[in-house]
Structure 1
Amino acid sequence: MERIINFNNEIKMALQQDDGRTFREIFLNLHPMDQAAIYLDMDRQQHLQIQQHLTPSAFAGIFQALDLQHQEKAVEEMDDAYIAHMFEAMYADNVADFLERQDAGYREKIISLMTGEGRAEVRELLDYAEDSAGTIMTKEYIAVLESDTVGEVMEKLSAEATRAVTIYYVYVIGPDHRLKGVASLRELIIAPDDAGVGSIMQTHLISAGVDDDQEDVAKVIQKYDLIALPVVTDQGLLAGIVTVDDILDVVHIEIEEDFGELGTTRGAMDYNLTIFQSAKKRGPWIIMLMLLGMITANIIGAFEETLEAVVLLSAFIPLIMDSAGNTGTQALTVAVRNLALGNIGPGSVLKTLGRELGTGFLIGAASAVALMILIPIFYPDGGMMFAAIVGLTLVTTLSLSAVVGALIPLIIKKLHIDPAVASGPFITTINDIMGLLIYFTIATTLLGQL
């Protein structure tokens, strides 16, 4: 960090003196992430100076290291021609990732200013369905013909390696561009130059379809420990590759979305949101949950006579509600996690629900035993019958709460919706309502025994 601060000061001094040569000597020797950090530490005037001293292709590395919000601020300070040239120097998937988040008019204007192969590749990527393999794949890969020799392939690698995202794999295609196999760089290095690449390639292919969900692609790359995964069309044509760094971005985005869903804060997790933007995104969820909470109030009102007869019942309402909510949230978390990992299939649903029912029952039984010991000590007026009411309520409520927490995401998954939308607050509210109904029903039934 201290090294970056020193470079930062030297770079700012060079800009202040309008010394472009010194600026480039220092700045271009830094890692793009360090360049981006220094860029963010500068004001608008210094940004314009950087653009004057750097070609669009040199600025491309900085741009790709910025997050979306800062990328959008950066392009506001650039003219359209500079942006188009910068995009031509970037990988097509990174350009498409940025442009798909912009309005259609701006997107079309910038693409029309681009030239050559890059423009066609960006258009192609933008045509694929959102969150599919097609939208995250890159077109910069090395493809060779099945009839090529190893020597010819190595010559091609030497000539085209700089434009490829990765050269660890070479993709072998037929004359019709169908994917035939994959050859690793290691296999190419140790093979004789006159050997046909078709004789050393791996034909047991692991690939993804262009319309496959990006989460499924991430699972395949994780399962087989791949650096890159070829993406093919329905006809088997090689369309692109998805690299592990793209998958890391996908995983980061999906985790952030799932955390937002679980806490009903999706879209409101950006640290840079204003107070009003944050309230606008989070407020509707709170209001909706508040309206659901009115059911809880009505349940308490419906059992007013029971509460008047035994006022002590009210002391344990928070305990029942909190225990039910916490148990349901735990089951929800476990279920969503196992669904994401593919551990729950059609044949294991009943097993999953049975396990959660048993888990909730054991937790409830342990809690009931503890309370049946403690309640007579701290609330002697209630006696053992009152302790039995609370204990029986906990056993029943926690058993059912665990099942509800696991069942709801399973149902939502069946409806082809992200199971993370079965958020913790919703599960908690449902289990609160159920817990109170069980509590007061048992208490009313046994009221004559108190």
Structure 2
Amino acid sequence: MERIISFQDDILTALSKNDKQRFRDIFLNIHPMDQAAIFNALDHLGHEQIKKYLSAKEFSSVFQALDLEHQNDTAKELDDRYIAKMFGYMFADNVADFLEIQDDAYRTKILSLMTDEESTEVEELLNYAEDSAGTIMTKEYIAVDRKDQAGNVLKRLQEEAPDAETIYYLYVVDAQHRLQGVLSLRDLIVAEDSERIESIMQTNYITAGVDEDQEEVAEIIKKYDLIALPIITAQGLLAGIVTVDDVLDVVQIETEEDFGELGTTRGAMDHKLTIFQSAKKRGPWIILLMLFGMITANIIGAFENTLEAVVLLSAFIPLIMDSAGNTGTQALTVAVRNLALGNIGPGSVIKTLWRELGTGFLLGLACSVLLLIIIPLLYPSGDIMLAVIVSLTLIITLSLSAVVGAIIPMVIKKLKIDPAVASGPFITTINDIMGLLIYFTIATTLLSYL
């Protein structure tokens, strides 16, 4: 942050003095992310001055470093032809990401102003299924022929490297553009100039399909510690590559979505939503949970006689409900995480549920021992049997709550739905109902001993 502030002071001084050369000397020698941060900190007049001092090619790196929200705001300040020209210097996947959130008329207009080659690449990316590998891959990679020589390829790199998103891997393709092998830059550099590519390329390589889910692509790159992953069509044609920086973006987006699902706020986390939009997105879950809450109320009403006989039982209802909900949410979080990492498979479901049952039992046992000591001290007028009822309820409830928290996301994933949709509040409500049923059933059974 201090580094950016230092740059910003010098840049603001240069802008205030209309010193174009001084501005360019400083601005063009800092990282694009720092350029974007400084650009965001300026007002409309500052934006206009920066765009006047930079070419479309130079400004493309600034625009590319902005997040989609700020890209959208900045595009409103730019001429359509300038945008199209700027997009010609950007990676196709970044252009596709921006155009994907625009309306059809604007998207069509911008594409029509781009060159045929550029627009074709972007349109191809826009046509892939949402959240697939095809939507996050880039077309800017270096493909080589297996019969070519290492020396010739190195010379090509000098010309083509500036336009490629990464050169650490090169991709060997045939005349039909089918992927034949992968060549690392290190192997290319140490090879003799006369050595053919086919003798130094790797034929045991990892790929993903264009329709594969982007989360699965991220997991492959993480598992094999890849810088880039080739993406192929069903016919084995090289369609593009997904780089590790694209994967980081995917992880961030998916994490935000999962948090939204866990908190039943998916789609409602944008700070720019109006009050009505925010309420509309949160409302369905709140109404559903309210209806489940009515079940809870009916359970309490069904055991009205038990409560009238021992009014003190009502004092422990929040304790039972909170403990059950918290235990279930913990189990849910662990299960969703393990499902995302692929740690829970067909052969480990029983083992996972057994572990959660045992964990819940031990948690319930620990809480119960504590309550057997605390309740008689806090309620000296109460019978020791009250402490027994609450303790026994916790042992059973926490054991089952942990199992419920773990099994629901597994069932949902089996139905091909994101397991994070098994939200915390949903699990909590189910465990509240179960906990109250267990509590009042035990209390009613042992009522004669109170």
Residues 267-307 of structure 1: CA distance to partner in whole angstroms, max 9, x if unpaired?
22234445554444334433332232121111111111110
Could you tell me which residue of structure 2 aligns to residue 127 of structure 1? 127
Could you tell me which residue of structure 2 aligns to residue 68 of structure 1? 68
2:55 matched to 1:58? no
2:386 matched to 1:395? no
2:372 matched to 1:410? no
Is the partner of 1:358 in helix, strand or coil? helix
Could you tell me which residue of structure 1 aligns to residue 305 of structure 2? 305
Whichever residue aligns with residue 82 of structure 2, its letter is Y
Q: TM-score, normalised by structure 2?
A: 0.96
Could you tell me which residue of structure 2 aligns to residue 93 of structure 1? 93
Could you tell me which residue of structure 2 aligns to residue 348 of structure 1? 348
Could you tell me which residue of structure 2 aligns to residue 190 of structure 1? 190
Distance (Å, rounded) in 1 between the aligned partners of 2:347 and 2:317? 38
Distance (Å, rounded) in 1 between the aligned partners of 2:307 and 2:120? 72
Distance (Å, rounded) in 1 between the aligned partners of 2:446 and 2:268? 47
Could you tell me which residue of structure 1 aligns to residue 200 of structure 2? 200
Could you tell me which residue of structure 1 aligns to residue 239 of structure 2? 239
Aligned-pair CA distance for 1:116: 4.1
Distance (Å, rounded) in 2 between the aligned partners of 1:52 and 1:183? 42
Could you tell me which residue of structure 2 aligns to residue 20 of structure 1? 20
Shifted more, 275-284 versus 393-402: the winner is 275-284
Could you tell me which residue of structure 1 aligns to residue 109 of structure 2? 109
Which ranges of structure 2 fall in alignment gaps of 5 or more residues?
none
Q: How does 1:33-432 map to 2 (within 5 A)?
A: 33-432=33-432
Distance (Å, rounded) in 2 between the aligned partners of 1:2 and 1:202? 45
Distance (Å, rounded) in 1 between the aligned partners of 2:377 and 2:12? 72
Shifted more, 342-351 versus 213-222: the winner is 342-351
Aligned-pair CA distance for 1:344: 0.7
Indicate how the Cα distance of structure 1 residues 223 and 439 shifts in structure 2: closer, same or farther if over 3 A, else same.
same
Distance (Å, rounded) in 2 between the aligned partners of 1:232 and 1:133? 10
Aligned-pair CA distance for 1:87: 0.8
Instruction: Indicate the RMSD between aligned Cα atoms, in angstroms.
Output: 1.5
Distance (Å, rounded) in 2 between the aligned partners of 1:164 and 1:416? 36
Distance (Å, rounded) in 2 between the aligned partners of 1:414 and 1:404? 15
Distance (Å, rounded) in 2 between the aligned partners of 1:36 and 1:183? 34
Distance (Å, rounded) in 1 between the aligned partners of 2:88 and 2:29? 22
Q: TM-score, normalised by structure 1?
A: 0.96
Residues 219-241 of structure 1: CA distance to partner in whole angstroms, max 9, x if unpaired?
11111101011111111111111
Aligned-pair CA distance for 1:192: 0.9
Which ranges of structure 1 fall in alignment gaps of 5 or more residues?
none
Distance (Å, rounded) in 2 between the aligned partners of 1:407 and 1:198? 50
Distance (Å, rounded) in 2 between the aligned partners of 1:248 and 1:51? 29
Whichever residue aligns with residue 421 of structure 1, its letter is V
